[in-house]
Amino acid sequence: MTARYRGLVMGDVIKLMLNDAELASCVGCGLCLPHCPTYRVTGEEGLSPRGRIAAMRSVAWENAPVDDTFVRFMDTCVQCRGCEPACPSGVQYGHLIEGTRHSLAEAKRTTPWWQRAGFKVLGHHRTLLAGSTFLAIAQRLRLVPKRLGLGPLPVRRGPALRSTGSDTYVFTGCVMDAWQRGTHRATQRVVEATGATCSVAGRGGDCCGALHIHAGLEDEAKRLAGKVIASMPGDAPVLVNSAGCGAAMKDYGHLLDTAEARSFSARVRDVHEWLAERIDSLPAPDATRARPAIIVQDPCHLRHVQKAHLPVRTVLGRYADVVELDDEGLCCGAGGAYSALQPALASDIRSRKIAAIDRAKSTSAATVVASANPGCSMHLAAAGATVMHPLDIVADLMP
Ligand code: SF4
Ligand code: SF4
C-alpha cells in the first residue's frame, strides 16, 4: 500500500501526516518561483511553492501551530501545479498540497459548511441542473454578484448526449454538462467523425470529484470516484473533454489505491490525445474555406498535470492556424472554485493572462481563444475574452 495522507487534530495543533520523502525532496533552489502565479502577483515567499513547502515542514516536522498565516498560504494556492514541471528535484507538489488541504479540511480549518454543501450538490446531477437553471435566471435578473466571475449561464442546455455504441465513453461530468452541454455534443460529433461510436456513463457517473480533492474533501472524492468507475464498465477508453476532470480521473489509482482504480485510470484519455492518434480519420478541411487563426490557452491540468497540451494543437491545427501565447503556460487563475473563493488574487493572475492574449491578438489575426477546461474559459470570458472549447471550433470547421 502506498503512503496516504491523514490529518490528526492534536489540541489546537494539526499534525500533517505527509509523506516524509516527498516533503524532504525540495532542495529550496527556487527555480519554481517564476512559474508560480501567486508568487508572480504578490512577490511573497509564503505564496510560492518553496515557501508553502517550508511552512508544511514546520507544521509536519516541528509541530508548529496551524495559524491563520499557514492557512492563508495553503488556501491561496491555485493548485495549478505549474511548479512541478519546473522543479529539477521532481517534487510531487500536488500530493503535498492535496494532503495538506485534506488535513486542514478534516480539522475544519478550511472549507466551511456552505462550501461543503455546494460541493455535495455536484454529485446530484438533477439537483445541479435545477440549481443551474435557477442561477441562470437569477443572472438575467442581475441578482448574481459579478465578483463570482460566472460567465452567462444557459437557461436552456439542449438534449443530453445519447449512446450510439460501445467503442468509447464520453464523460459528461457535473458542471460541464450543466453549463457547457453544447461542447459535449460537439465532442460526440468529432469523435464519431473518426468512425467510432460513443457511450455515456451509467448511473452515478456524474461528478469526478476533482473540485472535492482541491477543497480537501478526500473522502467525498473517493466516494464519487468509486461511483464513476462503476458507471463505465468494460475496457472502452474513457474520453474526457474537461482538463480538470481528466487529470482527477487519471489519478484515481493514487486516490483509491486499488487495482480496479488503476485499471480505470489507464483507460482515461483527454479527448484530444485520443483524437490526435486518429487525426487522419477526421474529415479533410474544406479547402474553399479560410483557415481561422485561433489562440490556444493551455489549462494547467492539461499542460502541467496530464502533459496533453500538444494534442490540442494537432487536432485544432487540422482546421485552423494555431497562435501561441508567450507566457509559457502560466496559470489563468481559474483553479476550479478558486476564482470564486479567492476573487482578488484570481483577478490579478488573470490580468497577466489577458495581457498575453492581447499580445497574441496584436501580432496575429486571431480574436478567439481555445481552452479545453470549463473553469478557465468562464474565468477568461468574465474578463471579456472570447473563449471556445477546441472541439466546438473543430466541430464548426469540419465539413
Ligand atoms: S500549485 Fe500553482 S499556485 Fe500552488 S505553489 Fe504550485 S505553482 Fe504556485
Ligand atoms: S519545489 Fe523544486 S524547484 Fe521549487 S524550490 Fe523546491 S526543489 Fe526547487
User: What's the pLDDT at 296?
Assistant: 98
pLDDT at residue 17 tops 80: no
- CA 308-309-312 angle, 5° bins: 105
Q: Tell if the pTM clears 0.85, that is, is over it.
A: yes
Chain centroid to CA 67: how far? Answer: 29
**Residue 15 zone, left/alpha/beta (φ > 0; ψ -120 to 50; rest):** beta
* Local structure of 238: helix, strand or coil: strand
Is the separation of the CB atoms in 242 and 373 below 8 Å? yes
Spatial separation of the C-alpha atoms in residues 325 and 359, rounded to whole Å: 8
CA nearest neighbour of 32 among 354, 343, 328? 328
Confidence of residue 227 (pLDDT cuts 50, 70, 90): very high
List, chain by chain if needed, residues with CB within 6 Å of any ligand 1 atom. 35-38, 49, 52, 77-83, 93
Cell of 189: 460529433
The predicted-structure confidence for 313-334, as pLDDT tens digits, reads as follows 999 999 999 999 999 999 999 9
Chain centroid to CA 165: how far? Answer: 28
Is the separation of the CB atoms in 349 and 150 below 8 Å? no
The predicted-structure confidence for 140-173, as pLDDT tens digits, reads as follows 888 877 766 677 788 888 899 999 999 999 999 9
Q: Which atom of ligand 1 is nearest to the CA of 35?
A: 7
Gap from CA of 55 to ligand 2 centroid (Å): 14
Provide the 10 A C-beta neighbour count for residue 151. 17
Mean pLDDT of 211-235: 95
Q: Would the CB of 27 count as within 6 Å of ligand 2?
A: yes
Gap from CA of 84 to ligand 2 centroid (Å): 8
pLDDT at residue 258 tops 50: yes
Average pLDDT across the chain, whole number = 92
Gap from CA of 81 to ligand 2 centroid (Å): 12
Q: Tell how many helices (H) and how many strands (E) occur in the chain.
A: 22, 10
Residue type, 80: C
- CA 345-349-353 angle, 5° bins: 160
Gap from CA of 80 to ligand 1 centroid (Å): 5
